[in-house]
Structure 1
Amino acid sequence: MKQKTVFLCNECGYESPKWYGKCPSCGAWNSMDEFKEAKAAAAPRGVLPKTERKRNRPLEIGKIETNEETRFRTGISELDRVLGGGAVHGSFVLVGGEPGIGKSTLLLQMCQEMSRQAKILYVSGEESLRQIRLRADRLHISSPELFVLAETDLEEILAETELLLPDVLIVDSIQTIYKSDLNSAPGNTTQIKECAMTLMQYAKRHNVTIFIVGHVNKEGTLAGPKILEHMVDCVLYFEGEKQVSFRCLRAAKNRFGSTNEIGVFEMSDCGLVEVPNPSAAMLSGHPTDASGNCIACTMEGSRPILAEIQALVTKTAYGTPRRMSAGVDYNRMVLLLAILEKRVGLYLSSSDAYINVIGGMRLDEPAIDLPIALAVASSYRDQPLPEGVMSFGEVGLTGELRAVTAVSQRIHEAIRLGFTTCIMPKQDIGRMEIPKTFRIVQTENIAQAIGAAFGRK
């Protein structure tokens, strides 16, 4: 069997017989890796021989059955929310996140709940059986329908799966699995792509739900070829700071539901604990008489979440002022500082500015522009916002405030948590039943919003 040298892009999986400094497919620089590949004379890898395959015939679209996909609950309501109401039979789900963030813990806890209604095979390529048992004992996990296998050879994994016939297969992680007919090492672009393709075909052919774990690289994206994310039905990212107990589960892709929902967990000694009311958890310890903080209401899918944004503005000791952000986009923060200086008259060009979102959350919605601006103004003036004030709204380059979506949900969440005032853009709020104790202040621009928050003098 003759070997040939090929070059593969570790970003998109593009294959070339020669090396390129820049990938012709995705444009990434220095992403072409060299490896030797054995030319298979049989069927392509991951594809059944023709004698074992059924011939597919084209069907008229009106004659295709449209039965609803069958879902089953994972037993973790926050995970079900992100998946769109539960896992779908025969789906292929990728769970990514940084090392030590809690991916394996989440899936092992999911096994405990799902084993009450399904047979589960948990395959680990990183831990021994004894290590998994010790972790399961710490999490109080034990079920006769949960089977564990420590193996990295894909052929062996599929052979054991054929014998056990589980309803759910979990592979932790895809970077450690390899196919013996490939000469590349585990974790290589080709190995990841071929193993994922084989698992995807197995899931669709046998109607088995498969969860695979993927690591992320230093850039924060999933390690391996980009085609891996295109193969799977759902891509879930488990995010959070290791120093902070809160974790967020987000759906970057979901063929069976929305990609806007998030699940919130808290890491404890007994594993991950669901946080059904993340707003109250994020606001615990909120200072009432300190300058430089403002409560924002952001929408994560259909769920409104109140988060505390803190700002610190102080005179710089250097020629160039420092700008730092945690939890918000850095470029957006710099943009808002320029708007405050140009449209409001806050001279921030000689001051250091630091923005932080409490709880380790990351907020990307434009509706957090106004809370950031109010927090910066509060710190610049060293004047705290009045008690019970929250806000939301998008800020334009001319300083105008733009309308945002889901106004009623945001206001109802603020009322439920005891806030008394909402500063927001001028827009139609519909027929809402608002208590007399709750005041809505609608403003046209950022200067009016700051004047309404601190009182005009």
Structure 2
Amino acid sequence: MAKASRAFVCQACGAVSNKWAGKCPSCGEWNSIIEEAVAPSAGPSLIAIKGGKGRLSPFETLAAETADAPRLPTGMAELDRVLGGGLVPASAVLVGGDPGIGKSTLLLQAAASLAQKGPRVVYLSGEEATAQVRMRAARLGLQQAPVALGTETKLANIIATLSSAPPPSLIIIDSVQTLWTEGLDAAPGTISQLRACSSALVSYAKGSGSTLVLVGHVTKDGQIAGPKVIEHMVDTVLYFEGQSGHQFRILRAVKNRFGATDEIGVFEMRFEGLKEVENPSALFLSDRDRGVPGTAVFAGMEGTRPILVEIQALVAPSLLGTPRRAVVGSDPNRLSMLIAVLEARCGVRFAGHDVFLNVAGGLRLNEPAADLAAAAALLSSFVGRPVPDDSVYFGEVSLTGAVRVVSHMDQRLKEAAKLGFVRAVVPASLAPDRQIADIALMPVSQLDELVAWFGMSSAE
């Protein structure tokens, strides 16, 4: 047997080097390089030439008929929406999120819901004792669910246990960073252990037809630890998001081989567990500040679901040499661009003001269509004049100050009309050919038109 050699592996990106360094040359992360044992192996070309044990691989045409992937609904509509309709047998799902966000609670509820329908479910916890998991199940009212519970972390024992019985329909590993295999001289959670354990479990799931769900920790930057090592192996990657102090939780798909990658599921954290939110718009706007300057309602889209949220802005005089720019729930670069357009194209001067922007409810917006609503909130706070309570805004602002077209206009307007809004400020190019009952369209072609509505001239 070849002697294992030593190498220095970055725990953030997986880069391998022959010497230690304080900063990874590949990803730039500090203090992430750890010495690990690496077993040398023969190259694939040498094995193919000397071994001669390969077999012929059949080929198929692109015109061959393929049935849709079968689905196994979990019983949680929001989770099934993000997955694309339910769990796919012989697939691997990775769920990441901040500590304490509710990953274990979500998966325990899904496991119990599925097990109560008949399929066999295995829940393996490497971080908690069985008593702790039972206490959580009792608090959630799930103690009678027929879920097979275990606390094993050694990979060989897990594979042997799963192989000794008929393959379960769902296997949950909480978390993958706690697993280890004795074939590697490395601590649990290192890149080598993550790669080996994840690969073995995914191979078992593909061969047995079970659905594998792995829970992954996240780094301080919000990425799953060892991200590219695990994410490339699995079929679906889900992030469970939320802000401390907010009861809302967002389940977002960032990779999905069997469904859309822009769907979200909305949950509300309660003492009795996570409750699905069927109408997120009404919940996000339930505590809306009416008649207060600096707020505007944005009609957004998350996948196929329209969501209305309140965007809040505060523009206050600053005594600092460099005014502050703070954003919660959106891209800070987008705010900087929007302020620059308002100053350069519309003559609104924010140079002596601190600017704060917040998306109410804990939702994070990545859609450029929020530009017009953010601009309305900024202008409202700047002049101290509230926007109409019955209006919604959506539209992308370009660097020239033009308000550009956005997609899914009909769905946005229908959702706004359903919630009682009667006016919508929209891009001018979309207004002439569309009309939704009970809601009037107010077209805007340039951002300076919105500035004029607040009684401001280009010289201000």
**Normalising TM by the smaller chain, what interval?**
over 0.9
Q: CA deviation at 1:298?
A: 1.1
- Any idea what the Cα deviations from partners look like across 1:97-135, whole Å, max 9, x if unmatched? 000000000000001111113100000000001111010
Tell which deviates more after alignment, 284-293 or 267-276.
Answer: 284-293
Cα distance in structure 2, aligned partners of 1:327 and 1:20: 35
Gap runs ≥5 in structure 1: 45-52
**Counterpart of 1:149?**
150
TM-superposed CA distance for 1:15, in Å, is 3.2
Asked if 1:114 is matched to 2:128, the reply is: no
Q: What residue number does 2:325 align with?
A: 323
Q: After superposition, give the CA deviation of every residue in 1:23-42 in whole Å (9 maximum; x if it has no partner).
A: 67x55455762434263789
**Residue of structure 1 in register with 2:344 after alignment:** 342
Matched, 1:196 2:198: yes
Aligned residues: percent identity?
44
Alpha-carbon distance change, 130 to 440 in structure 1, aligned in 2, over 3 angstroms: same
Q: 5+ unaligned residues in a row in structure 2: which ranges? A: 45-52
The secondary structure found in structure 2 opposite 1:312 is strand
| 1:19-418 equivalence runs, <5 A | 19=20, 26-30=26-30, 33-37=33-37, 39=39, 55=55, 57-61=57-61, 66-115=66-115, 116-143=117-144, 145-164=146-165, 165-418=167-420
Alpha-carbon deviations, 1:360-418, whole Å to 9, x = none? 11111000001111101000100001220111001111211111111111111110100
Contact 2:267 2:275 in 1 (8 A): yes
Secondary structure of the residue that 1:71 maps to in structure 2?
Answer: coil
Question: Following the alignment from structure 1 to structure 2, what is the Cα–Cα distance between the partners of residues 125 and 233?
Answer: 23
SS at match of 1:258: coil
Asked if 1 retains the 8 angstrom alpha-carbon contact of 2:380 and 2:387, the reply is yes
1:160 is displaced (CA, Å) by: 1.2
Query: Structure 1 residues 314, 394: CA separation in 2 closer, same or farther (over 3 Å shift)?
Result: same
430 and 8 in structure 1: CA distance in 2 versus 1, 3 angstrom threshold: farther
Q: Distance in 2 between matches of 1:252 and 1:119?
A: 28
**Given residue 61 of structure 1, which amino acid in structure 2 is its aligned partner?**
T
Distance 2:188 2:41 in 1: 22
3-state DSSP class of the match of 2:326?
strand
- Map of 2:49 onto structure 1: none
Cα 1:411–1:456 shift into 2, 3 Å: farther
**What is the rounded CA distance, in whole Å, between the counterparts of 1:430 and 1:163 in structure 2?**
66
In 1, Cα distance between equivalents of 2:323 and 2:59: 65
State the TM-score, normalized to the length of structure 1: 0.92
Cα offset, 1:428, TM superposition: 3.2
Give yes or no for contact 1:408–1:429 (8 Å, CA) kept in 2: no
- Number of residue pairs matched by the alignment: 448
TM-score of the pair, normalised by structure 2: 0.92
Q: CA deviation at 1:426?
A: 1.2
Question: In structure 1, what is the Cα distance between the partners aligned to 2:267 and 2:403?
Answer: 33
Q: Secondary structure in 2 aligned to 1:294?
A: strand
Compute the displacement of 1:54 (Å): 9.9
Deviation at 1:9, TM superposition (A): 2.9
Kindly state the Cα deviation for residue 296 of structure 1 after the two structures are TM-superposed: 0.4
Aligned-CA RMSD value: 2.5
The CA distance in 2 between the partners of 1:152 and 1:319, in whole Å, is: 55
Q: Is the 1:233–1:253 Cα contact (8 Å) retained in structure 2? A: yes
Q: How far apart, in 1, do the equivalents of 2:145 and 2:163 lie?
A: 19
Q: Is the 1:3–1:36 contact (alpha carbons within 8 Å) kept by the matching residues of 2?
A: no
- 1:243 shift after superposition: 1.1
Shift of 1:141: 0.7
Q: Aligned partners of 2:43 and 2:121: how far apart in 1?
A: 31
Equivalent residue, structure 1, for 2:16: 15
Deviates more, 1:415-424 or 1:317-326: 317-326
Contact 1:125 1:173 in 2 (8 A): yes
Question: What's 1:438 paired with?
Answer: 439
Letter of the structure 2 residue corresponding to residue 106 of structure 1: L
